[in-house]
Amino acid sequence: MKLVSANFVFQNRQGIVYGYITGGGLKQILLYQEGKPKPYVLHERPNILLGRLLTFRLDRYFSGINEDFSDIPLDLTGASEFQLRVWDALRKISFGKTCTYAELAVRAGFPPRYARAVGFALGRNPIPIIIPCHRVLPATGGLGSFSAGVEWKRRLLQIEGVTV
């Protein structure tokens, strides 16, 4: 899912984070990659308090503080039941911890053979960091892939003290 317009922007030394907030909660996040198109920034925000809370929490997170995003309201309309189960299990993976795709499948209540389907659900994750798909690594080792690029995944894991 491509973020075309944003109404939330957070910038620090790690990079730029664009977000889209609806009346129902945080709908989407884009971790900006240099050279890629930037979303159009809207000057309206239906939930200014959520924007302020996200700014505070992201600032702490990018400073290496174990930040809990579990109380951030999310607008996941349009997601399948499978995606919701996978993303819910993923939100329970703690700061600085990782798991494999098969382990996440089991945490979501599916057999390990669903690892590939779990990877597909993670590829559709509209809210990285808050739904921390960067914490899922391939069983074969290495970083695997990441919707915002492997360099972002490496940065996020380094912030959390994980070396791969």
- 133, 136, 137, 157: the catalytic one is 133
CB 107 within 8 A of CB 89: yes
CB 74 within 8 A of CB 26: yes
Catalytic site residue 99? no
Q: Which long-range contacts (CB under 8 A, 24 or more apart) does 26-29 make?
A: 26/50, 26/54, 26/72, 26/73, 26/74, 26/75, 26/127, 26/130, 27/74, 27/75, 27/126, 27/127, 28/1, 28/3, 28/126, 28/127, 29/3, 29/126, 29/127, 29/128, 29/129, 29/130
| Active-site residue set | 133
